Amino acid sequence: MFKKTLVAVAALAAFGTVSAANFTLYGTVDESLVYDYSKTKVAGQEIEKSHSLGLASGYNSASKFGFKGTEDLGNGLKVGFRLENQFSADDGQLTDGLLFRREASLSVYSDYGTLSMGRMGGVGSSAGTYDLVYLYADAFDGGDNAIFGVASSARYDNMVTYQSPKFAGVQATVQYSFKTKGAESAQSSKNRQYAGAGVTGDFGPLGVVAAYEYNNYTADDGIAQDGHAAYFGGNYDCGFAKTFALVQYFKGWDSAAEVSASDVNEAFVKEIKKVMGAEWKGSVFSDGLKGYGLHLGSIVPVAGGDLTVGVYYVDAKLENIRASQDFAVSVDGDVKYLGASARYVYPLSKRTSVYGGAGLAQAKLDKVSVLGVSIDPETKTTVGQAYFGLTHQF
C-alpha cells in the first residue's frame, strides 16, 4: 500500500499537491491466448467461415487503469472523481481512441445519496459504477465475451445519475443523458438521449434487481420507434453455489441476439442500390427489435477457484424494415439466439489469477416475411471460443 501511494503521488506531482489518504491509482492487465470460430449459412449454404488463434486482451477482466479520489468537505459531504480508461494489452492501443472510455465522472456524496455527472454506464450496461442489472442477475456480469446475446445498454456521455442511500437493503438509481455522444448536435432535438432507472435489494443471501431503460433515437440510427427495455432478476447464494437468473423484455431496441437493426438497414440499402442503381438517395429504417431474453447461470467454488457457467436465450423479431422511397414493401424477421459458456478462474495470489474458458452460440434469422408472406431464407451464424489467460491487478 505504501509503494502504491508513492507511485500515485509521483504520477500526479506535476498537477499539484495530492493527499495520499484519498487518492488511488489502480488497474488491471489481462492477456490470453484465444481461439475464435465463426460460420454463417444462408438457406443451408455456407457463405462464410473463419477461425483464428492469437493473443487477446480482456477475456477475464478488461485491461484498464484509472484514478479515483475523494475530498471530505465536512458535515457528511464529500466530492469524488473517477477517471478510468481501457486499453488492449497485446498492442497497447486505447479502446475506441478515448482516453477515459470506461468512466469519467465527478460525484457529490451526502447522507441523502450520490449525484454523479459525466461519462458512465447505464444501469443495464454491465459497466462501471452503476452496473446494476448484470451485476445482480448475470453470472458473468455482462456475458462471456462472444457469448451474450441478450439486450443491454452502453456507456453514455453527458450523464447525470442519482443513487439513493440504502433503506433496509433497498436502493434506487435514476439516470439521464442529455446527449449520449459528446460530438452530437448542439440542438437537443437532434441528439440521441437515454434514461434509466433501477431498484436493487440486498436481503442476506438474496439479491434482486428491477430496471427500465429508454433510448430516444435520432434519424441517423434508422430506428423509427423509441427503445424500451425492462429487466427483472437476481441471485441467491446458498453456500455451495451462487445462482443467477434474468428475464428481460425489449421493444424498439437496436441490438440483441447478435443482430443490429441499424446494420441490417445498411445492408438493405446496399441491396436496393444493386437494383435501383448507386444514385438511389433513399434510406432504410425499421421499428427495431422486439422480444425477450433469458439468462440462467451459477458460480461454484471448485478446487480453490471459481467455476462460472451460464446460458443465454433470446426470441425476438426485427420489425417493419422499410425504405423511405420507391419501395412499399415491409419486411419482418424472426430472430433466435442460444448460447452457453463456462470459465474457471484460479487465484495465484490476491492480485493475480489464471483462467480458462470456452463457449458456443448460434444466432438464427428463422423467417423473413414480406407483407405477411414467408420467404424464409434462413440465416444461421455459429460462433465458438476457447481461451486461456492471466489477469494481474494493481
Domains of the chain: 29-393 (2.40.160.10)
pLDDT computed for residue 11 by the predictor: 46
Q: How confident is the model at residue 112 (pLDDT cuts 50, 70, 90)?
A: very high
What integer is the mean pLDDT of 55-61? 96
Which amino acid, residue 144?
A: D
The predicted structure's pLDDT at residue 190? 73
Q: Is the pLDDT of residue 114 over 70?
A: yes
pLDDT of residue 146: 95
Per-state percent for the chain, helix, strand, coil, to nearest 5: 10, 60, 30
CA angle 204–205–211, rounded 5-degree value: 90
pLDDT over 80 (residue 156) = yes
DSSP single-letter state for residue 165:
P
Closest CA to 337 of 369, 368, 378, 382: 382
Which pLDDT does position 379 carry in this prediction?
Answer: 82
Could you tell me where the DSSP H helices lie in 83-165? 133-137
- pLDDT of amino acid 188: 62
Task: Give CA–CA dist 265/285, Å, rounded.
Answer: 6
Cell of 370: 414480406
pLDDT band for position 332 (50/70/90)? confident
Average pLDDT over residues 37-53: 85
Kindly state the average pLDDT of the residues 380-391: 96
> Residue 357: how many CA atoms within 13 Å on its side-chain side?
31
Residue-wise pLDDT tens digits, 190-202: 788 999 999 999 9
- Arithmetic mean of pLDDT, 353-361: 98
Rounded-to-integer distance, Cα 207 and Cα 170, Å? 10
For range 364-381, the mean pLDDT: 64
Query: Nearest CA to 152 among 307, 357, 298, 312?
Result: 312
Question: Taking the model in full, what pTM does it have?
Answer: 0.88
In this predicted structure, what is the pLDDT of residue 368? Answer: 60
**Which of 250, 244, 183, 267 is closest to 218 using CA atoms?**
183
| CA–CA gap between residue 191 and residue 265 (Å, rounded) | 20
Per-residue pLDDT band at 41 (split at 50, 70, 90): confident
Residue 71 near residue 22 (C-beta atoms within 8 A): yes
